[in-house]
Amino acid sequence: MKKIVLGPFTRANNSCMVEVTVENKKVIEASCSGTFFRGFELILQGRDPRDASYLTERICGICSSVHGTAASYALENAAGIRPPANGNLLRNLIMGADFLQNHIRHIYLFSFVDYLKLPQKGPFTGSYTVDKRFSQKTNDMLLEHLFQSIEISRQAHEMVALLGGKAPFPHGILAGGSTVPPAADVVMNFKSKLEKINHFVRNIMLPDVDILAEVYSDYYRIGHRRINLLEYGLFPKDEKDTQRHFPGAAVIDGRLQAVDLGVIKEHLSHSWYSEEAEAQHPTLGQTIINRAKEGAYSWIKAPRYNGLPMEGGPLARLWIRGDYRAGISTMDRIVARALEAKIIGDLMESWLVRLEPDKPILTPFEVPKQAEGIGLTGAMRGPLGHWLRMKNGRIAHYQIITPTAWNFSPRDNTGQKGPVEEALIGTPVEDENQPIEIGRVIRAFDVCSSCSAHVIYPGSSTQNLTILP
Amino acid sequence: MGLDGPESKTKPVVLWLGTNTCAGDLLSFLNNNNPGYQTWVNDYVDLRYDYLLGVSQGPQNIEILDSTLADLPGRYILIVEGTIPTNSYEFCSVIGIKNSEYWTALQAVRELGAKAGHIIAAGTCAAFGGPYAAAPNPTGSVPLQAILRERTVINVPGCPINPEWLMGTINHLILYGVPELDSLNRPRLFYGQTIHDQCQRRAHFDNGVFAENPGEPWCMYKLGCKGPTTYADCPSRQWNTEHVSWPVKANTPCIGCTSPEFPDGDMPFFEHLPDVELPGIRMQANQVGRWAGLFTALGIGSHLAANIVTGRLAGNYKRDLASSRRKRLLKKKILRKKF
């Protein structure tokens, strides 16, 4: 029996820490730690609710646009307004471009490098050498595609900048709609880049992922867990937002049901916070930092849906849509991510055609003094929710539950593991000194430790960080 | 393409450490076009540690950092991205496990910073504290310079950095040594003038033509634009590296993300700067345009006008003038180190 600790664990958008116990070449115990805490929601308190879209984008550099979007949805919900048709399409296009950026960067720069033989240079120094199965020729080809992907994902960020002013942290996503009118030159520039990216996704990335899935087909049997999935819905089909292109649902043991936000509770038993009597709904939870707490190992709380750990991300979304139900494993997660990039790229082409140059892009509105709003969207790595409460025209309470809080959560009050921990159990580890399999399983979830730094309300002193609903 | 350039010995060694960060600066840096990331790591630098894209794991990462520290003291460039929690909050940012114990960002920055040849704070978090250090600063976070008090930290702020600001600063270090810095240790090359002074919509400001809502093609001042108090070259350079747009071109206000007071001093983002007070005159923001136009007509430089508008800058401006000569001398002495 051997304990392996990986910290810093890189390529997780900032780094995190993982501890596994290996016996007879298999993982028998696993715990995942978020090692960063920022207290973002406390910072939001008392601020102008219009600022939330720009400020919450700063939670995450790789998925900033979805935080801006969730914050905008929440304020629109509170103010009782809808964006114009153009506004919804433009926001979808900015988000879509950011998804392409994320998925391409994730697949090649975060994920693929765990399977390739790499030149021992620069950031590639120190890579594991075991279980590299590609022929030299295939390896060289994939390495070249990896470098190409940097150029392609860069263009996806240029698309975000075209409609959003810059990337990351675009300015073009606001409550009420979007800010750059769909003028012919802008639309053409966007379209041309989109076509290049779509070409890459269809003709290079998908085939590359096929090759990976074929050569590493055993990873269809690794990283398995129960089919418990959660998504809130992604990309409103129109400005009324009665349907989304990727619908939301909770999947319990493979069966779909409508999402009930009321059954989401946050557990604290294994997080560095003092415990409450029982698990709390996110809008009620109190948080008191306790770094010395026995048994705790993460800054991430453990959100549970009806008591169950839920997984989000491309695989969950495609499962719910009915596009992909082959299985729930490491390779399924990677394949679904690539497929989703293709589906989003196709959708974006159809949205571009629907833009109307001289029609409004933003609905002006009065910020209500007293109101509540919820903003829900799919994010690159799973379900994202922003809960907003306003008093005297300022933010009285803001709560964010990120996808990585779901995926990378620690154990809950009943001792149930988080989804990544579940998936790690049973993972074969051939060489304990080079546990390459661990990283492959974790990264397929597209873990983001920036996003996981969840919601905390520490007060003024360390002994008694108070905190509030 | 591949990683087959000259041996690393001949290239400057770079370590890129992430503390409490969203990784936005490295992701923005990946958008650099000429050179692209792959060419840069292949031909220009030996990027031994990259907290985001690095391939090695856990103990190997610590080993890489340790050996660089031991073998190349004073001869590596340290880039730090993120703000650094201190005091009892130190454990809010843990880099990894070292000698079987948690190795915090604070410890890492102290150790690596003490022996770095040059130190760059990439992004507003590392340079000035940024969003995570905003009130009430739940993690007691501070910028890099506050920890490495004895060292000169080159601040390359921006939320995120424009890729060319950072690439340009690193390249300046490698080719010509330390760039000329302003009183906040920002390279004047990129942060020498206000957004306001370079803005394409300056004429609208001078003529008093203001946007009422985001999405309109006029001056964003009344919508909260912090261009008059923000030093950066966004209007002329634009974003990202294809230079296709920037926040005001996207019909939204500049939110002052390169400023030391970002975000607290720039919020609410959509409310305009305080009313202007000049000796004997008090103006409302909606009159500013007219008056600024008049001052320009009277021959008062726009730079000065902008500084008067801010109050804060007026103070800075004076301090800057008084101490710039002394500081420049000091910097030359300490920093003109080359590899």
In this predicted structure, what is the pLDDT of residue B15?
A: 97
Q: Cβ contacts of residue A397 below 8 Å, gap of 6+?
A: A41, A45, A283, A387, A388, A389, A468, A469
The pLDDT of residue B3 is above 60? no
Mean pLDDT, chain A, rounded, equals 91
- 8 Å CB contact of A43 and B92: no
- Å between B276 CA and nearest CA of chain A: 22
Specify the 3-state DSSP secondary structure of A390.
strand
The pLDDT of residue B232 is above 70? yes
Beta strand extents in B181-319 (DSSP E only): 276-278, 281-283
Instruction: Assess contact for A204 and A401: CB atoms under 8 A.
Output: no
B166 band by pLDDT with thresholds 50, 70 and 90 = very high
B285 band by pLDDT with thresholds 50, 70 and 90 = low
| Order of strands across the sheet that contains B46-50 | B46-50, B13-18, B76-81, B118-122, B153-156
CA distances from A116 to A123, A249, A363 (A): 14, 36, 49
pLDDT digits (tens, 9 = 90+) for A432-464: 999 999 999 999 999 887 666 543 332 222 222
Residues of chain A in contact with residue B37, where contact means CB-CB under 8 angstroms, are 150
Nearest CA in chain A to B62: A8
- Å between A320 CA and nearest CA of chain B: 30
In this predicted structure, what is the pLDDT of residue A28?
A: 96
Region B257-282 average pLDDT: 78
- 8 Å CB contact of B240 and A58: no
Q: Cβ contacts of residue B161 below 8 Å, gap of 6+?
A: B25, B28, B29, B122, B123
- Å between A257 CA and nearest CA of chain B: 34
- 8 Å CB contact of A10 and B30: no
Tokens matching residue B221? 């001042």
Number of helices (H) and strands (E) in chain B: give both, helices first.
14, 11
pLDDT digits (tens, 9 = 90+) for A52-82: 999 999 999 999 999 999 999 999 999 999 9
Best mutation target, A35, A66, A185, to test chain B (most B CBs within 10 A): A35
Separation of CA A336 from chain center:
14
Residue entry with tokens 């190997």? B60
pLDDT digits (tens, 9 = 90+) for A284-343: 665 677 888 888 999 888 999 999 999 999 999 999 999 999 999 999 999 999 999 999
B314 band by pLDDT with thresholds 50, 70 and 90 = very low
Angle at A90 between CA A85 and CA A94, to 5 degrees: 155
Region A230-253 average pLDDT: 98
Task: Look up the pTM and report it.
Answer: 0.90
In this predicted structure, what is the pLDDT of residue A459?
A: 27
Poorest-confidence range of A351-355, B96-100, B155-159, B176-180? Answer: B96-100
Amino acid found at A204: I
B57 band by pLDDT with thresholds 50, 70 and 90 = confident
- Å between B126 CA and nearest CA of chain A: 14
The pLDDT of residue B273 is above 80? no
In this predicted structure, what is the pLDDT of residue A17?
A: 85
Separation of CA A157 from chain center:
17
Residues of chain A in contact with residue B130, where contact means CB-CB under 8 angstroms, are 58
For chain B, say whether A174 makes contact (Cβ under 8 Å).
yes
- 8 Å CB contact of B213 and A362: yes
The Cα–Cα gap between A126 and B62 comes to 11
Name which of A7, A122, A167 is nearest B48 (Cβ-Cβ). A122
Best mutation target, A4, A38, A467, to test chain B (most B CBs within 10 A): A38
The Cα–Cα gap between B119 and B15 comes to 10
How many CB atoms sit inside 10 A of residue A218's CB? 12
Name which of B55, B88, B255 is nearest A124 (Cβ-Cβ). B55
The Cα–Cα gap between B188 and B211 comes to 31
Region B326-337 average pLDDT: 39
Region A120-139 average pLDDT: 91
In this predicted structure, what is the pLDDT of residue B107?
A: 97
CB pairs under 8 A between A and B: 276
Specify the 3-state DSSP secondary structure of A372.
strand
pLDDT digits (tens, 9 = 90+) for A171-194: 999 999 999 999 999 999 999 999
Q: Is A203 exposed, middle or buried (0-12, 13-18, 19+ CB in 10 A)?
A: exposed
The Cα–Cα gap between A393 and A398 comes to 13
For chain B, say whether A227 makes contact (Cβ under 8 Å).
no
Cis-peptide into B33, omega within 30 deg: no
The Cα–Cα gap between A446 and A234 comes to 17
pLDDT digits (tens, 9 = 90+) for B4-55: 444 445 899 999 999 999 999 999 999 999 999 999 999 999 999 999 999 9
Buried b (16+ CB within 10 A) or exposed e, A98-122: bbbbbbbbbbbbbbbbbbbbbeebb
Rg (CA), chain B: 21
Nearest CA in chain A to B87: A462
The pLDDT of residue A403 is above 90? yes
Angle at B142 between CA B136 and CA B144, to 5 degrees: 160
B145: nearest Cα among B78, B204, B68, B88 = B78
Poorest-confidence range of A328-342, B155-169, B323-337? Answer: B323-337
For chain B, say whether A430 makes contact (Cβ under 8 Å).
no
Q: Say if the ipTM goes beyond 0.90.
A: yes
Give A 374-413 residues with CB within 8 A of chain B: none
Residues of chain B in contact with residue A7, where contact means CB-CB under 8 angstroms, are 58, 94-97
Residues of chain B in contact with residue A122, where contact means CB-CB under 8 angstroms, are 3, 8, 41-42, 45-48, 50
In this predicted structure, what is the pLDDT of residue B315?
A: 40
Residues of chain A in contact with residue B266, where contact means CB-CB under 8 angstroms, are none
CA distances from A55 to A61, A67, A71, B248 (A): 12, 9, 9, 17
The pLDDT of residue B87 is above 90? no
- 8 Å CB contact of B22 and A153: no
For chain A, say whether B45 makes contact (Cβ under 8 Å).
yes
Amino acid found at B242: E
Q: Cβ contacts of residue A14 below 8 Å, gap of 6+?
A: A36, A448, A449, A450, B18, B21, B22, B23, B51, B52
In this predicted structure, what is the pLDDT of residue A166?
A: 98
In percent, the amount of chain A with pLDDT more than 70 equals 93
Name which of A5, A168, A364 is nearest B24 (Cβ-Cβ). A168
For chain A, say whether B37 makes contact (Cβ under 8 Å).
yes
For chain A, say whether B107 makes contact (Cβ under 8 Å).
no
In this predicted structure, what is the pLDDT of residue B275?
A: 56
Q: Which segments of A287-402 does DSSP mark as H helices, in order?
A: 314-321, 330-354
For chain A, say whether B90 makes contact (Cβ under 8 Å).
no
For chain A, say whether B203 makes contact (Cβ under 8 Å).
no
In this predicted structure, what is the pLDDT of residue B9?
A: 56
Rg (CA), chain A: 22
Residues of chain B in contact with residue A182, where contact means CB-CB under 8 angstroms, are none
Name which of A8, A51, A170 is nearest B269 (Cβ-Cβ). A51
- Å between A161 CA and nearest CA of chain B: 6
